[in-house]
Amino acid sequence: MQSPSSSFTVRHANSRDVGHLSDILTESFYRHSDRPVNFLMRGFTNLVYPILRYGIMLDLNSRFGEQTPCYACLVATHPANKFQAIASLEICMRYVPVHASRGFWLGRDMQQHPYIFNLAVHPHWRRRGAAKQLLLAAEKTVKQWGFSRLYMHVLEDNEGARYLYDHLGYRLHDQEGYLNYWFLGFPRRFLLQKKF
């Protein structure tokens, strides 16, 4: 699945990738966040880092072992080391609202559709096209499964990711997190959809 415009290769992950994937996910979501983190929070994160990494490793091993038909974990590698993942994403089936709505979520029609989660690029490899290559490979995978829509969430304040997703054709389908946004000041989550 290598693209001529990229030096990355995308392939399906296997159990030997779990260690690298755990590092990528832990670094991306807990250490190298784009949000400012105070000194105490950074110290706490460093203290519990091994526990966070171990928990992610257990989750990955569990998903790999389930053999679910519509699940895939894709990794990107670089020719410098074809065996070491530098970015990853996962696809599964998840319930999403059938119709976009800005209203209250109770009573909404939900259906299962392919959903991207845990898209992460190691901090040293960001902004080089690995995420784009993974997303394009995810779309091919979903088409092979026989689906014509793909969903994912993005945080409102993640401008870089939102730009990439928009460039690739993902459009706003729904907004979530009103209570956290109004009362706690957390960014809203946007549910994006791409139709093939």
Task: Show me where the domains of the chain are located.
Answer: 9-195
Task: Output the tens digit of pLDDT for each of the chain's 196 residues.
Answer: 544 445 899 999 999 999 999 999 999 988 765 555 566 777 777 789 899 999 999 999 999 988 889 999 999 999 988 889 999 999 999 999 987 655 555 557 899 999 999 999 999 999 999 999 999 999 999 999 999 999 999 999 999 999 999 999 999 999 886 666 667 777 889 999 999 9
The matching CATH number, chosen from 3.40.630.30, 1.10.357.10, 3.40.50.300, 3.60.150.10, for 9-195 is 3.40.630.30
| Predicted local distance difference test score (pLDDT) of residue 138 | 98
Name the helix (H) or strand (E) containing 151: strand 149-155
Q: 86-121 burial, b if ≥16 CB within 10 A, otherwise e?
A: bbbbbbbbbebbeeeeeeeeeeeeeeebbbbebbbb
Q: Give the 3-state secondary structure percentages of the chain, helix then strand then coil, rounded to 5.
A: 40, 30, 30
| Predicted local distance difference test score (pLDDT) of residue 4 | 41
Q: Are 175 and 192 contacting, i.e. CB atoms less than 8 angstroms apart?
A: no
| Predicted local distance difference test score (pLDDT) of residue 176 | 80
| Predicted local distance difference test score (pLDDT) of residue 33 | 56
| Predicted local distance difference test score (pLDDT) of residue 139 | 98
| Predicted local distance difference test score (pLDDT) of residue 23 | 95
| Predicted local distance difference test score (pLDDT) of residue 3 | 43
Q: Are 25 and 120 contacting, i.e. CB atoms less than 8 angstroms apart?
A: yes
